[in-house]
Amino acid sequence: MANSTMVPEFLLVGFAEMLELSVLHALLFLLMYLATLLGNLLIITATTLDQNLHTPMYFFLRNMSILDMCYISVTVPNACVNSLTDNRVISVPGCAAQIFLVIYCVFVELLFLTIMARDRYVAICQPLHYPVIMNHQFCVWTTLVSLLIGFIYAAVHTGNTFQLSFCQYNVVRQFFCDIPSLLSLSCSDTFINELLIFISAMGIYGGCFIFIAMSYFHILSTVLKFPPRERGKAFSTCVPHILVFSVFLGSGSCVYLRPSGASDTVLDMILSVFYTIVPPFLNPIIYSLRNKQVKKAVRKVISRKFYSGKL
pLDDT, tens only, 244-284: 777 777 777 776 766 655 556 677 777 788 888 888 888 88
pLDDT interval class at 1 (50, 70, 90): very low
CB-based contacts of 104, cutoff 8 Å, min separation 6: 150, 151, 153, 154
Question: What is the average pLDDT value for the chain, to the nearest integer?
Answer: 84
CA nearest neighbour of 252 among 113, 145, 121: 113
Are the beta carbons of 238 and 216 closer than 8 angstroms? yes
CA 89 – CA 87 distance, rounded (Å):
6
- pLDDT given for residue 2 in this prediction: 45
pLDDT over threshold 60, residue 307: no
Question: Stretch 189-209: mean pLDDT, rounded?
Answer: 87
What phi-psi label fits residue 86: left (phi over 0), alpha (psi between -120 and 50 degrees) or beta? left
Best-predicted range by mean pLDDT among 90-99, 171-180, 196-205?
90-99
- pLDDT given for residue 97 in this prediction: 95
pLDDT interval class at 290 (50, 70, 90): low
CA–centroid distance for 280 within its chain: 6
The bridge status of strand 9-12 relative to strand 89-91 is antiparallel
CA 39 – CA 281 distance, rounded (Å):
8
Question: Stretch 59-79: mean pLDDT, rounded?
Answer: 93
CA nearest neighbour of 192 among 167, 160, 152: 160
CA nearest neighbour of 198 among 111, 258, 275, 271: 258
- pLDDT given for residue 154 in this prediction: 95
pLDDT tens for 238-254 read 777 777 777 777 777 77
Integer CA distances (angstroms), 6 to 89, 154, 301, in order: 16, 23, 52
- pLDDT given for residue 77 in this prediction: 93
Integer CA distances (angstroms), 109 to 51, 290, 300, in order: 25, 20, 28
Q: What global pTM score does this model have?
A: 0.88
CB-based contacts of 115, cutoff 8 Å, min separation 6: 60, 142, 146
CA 264 – CA 83 distance, rounded (Å):
20
The DSSP secondary-structure symbol of 69 reads: H
Question: Stretch 83-103: mean pLDDT, rounded?
Answer: 90
CA 185 – CA 178 distance, rounded (Å):
11
